[in-house]
């Protein structure tokens, strides 16, 4: 399995950067109850944590209702099918958020990139009301890294970094799946 993505990044003001990722995953072992895969993700992005990231994927059916899904280093989830149309999961996920800042002051450059890396751990309930899926997710967010860097520069050349205490989160969503 492989994926190639070309990404144009920016804001409503302008295009800020071009990024590319290429990922390949090879199934090493597959049985009726488990799948083990390994691969690599290549990143062309000055703000990426690393240009090459190894990927390990493991899916294991633990019982009729329970399963484990680990896609490392991104996430690990323990899922339970609750009835005919519901599912509950306990998970921990590595996430990133980013946006651009435009100070519009003489002493500053035109634009800056704010990026945060965090771990979200919590519980999710999903229910399928065909063709609508409703979910509620709650847990704790722990900030690992939060920096501001001049657009186009490496994250190691940041001008400002932040720390944040763990915080509670709650998310409710609706998805149309025709």
The pLDDT of residue 107 is 67
Q: What pTM was estimated for this model as a whole?
A: 0.78
Mean pLDDT, the chain, integer: 90
Phi and psi angles of residue 123, each rounded to the nearest 5 degrees, phi first: -125, 140
Query: Is residue 150 over pLDDT 80?
Result: yes
Burial of 175 (0-12, 13-18, 19+ CB in 10 A): exposed
Name the residue range of residue 121's domain. Answer: 2-176
pLDDT in tens, 91-133: 999 998 888 888 877 666 778 888 899 999 999 999 999 899 9
Counting the structural domains of the chain, the total is 1
Query: Is residue 77 over pLDDT 90?
Result: yes
Alpha-carbon distance of 147 to 162, in angstroms, equals: 6
């Amino acid at each position: 399995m492989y994926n190639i993505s070309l990404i144009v990044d920016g804001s409503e003001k302008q295009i800020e950067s071009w990024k590319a990722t290429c990922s390949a995953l090879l199934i090493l072992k597959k049985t009726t109850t488990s799948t083990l895969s390994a691969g690599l993700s290549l990143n062309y992005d000055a703000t990426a944590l690393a240009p090459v990231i190894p990927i390990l994927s493991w899916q294991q059916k633990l019982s009729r209702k329970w399963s484990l899904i680990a896609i490392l280093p991104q996430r690990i989830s323990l899922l339970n099918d609750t009835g005919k149309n519901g599912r509950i999961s306990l998970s921990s996920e590595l996430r990133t958020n980013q946006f651009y800042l435009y100070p519009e002051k003489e002493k500053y450059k035109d634009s800056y990139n704010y990026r945060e890396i965090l771990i979200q751990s919590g519980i999710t309930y999903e229910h399928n009301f065909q063709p609508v899926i409703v979910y509620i997710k709650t847990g704790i967010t722990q900030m690992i890294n939060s920096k501001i860097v001049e657009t186009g520069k490496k994250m190691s050349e940041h001008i400002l970094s932040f720390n944040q205490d763990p915080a509670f989160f709650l998310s409710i969503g609706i998805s149309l799946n025709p």
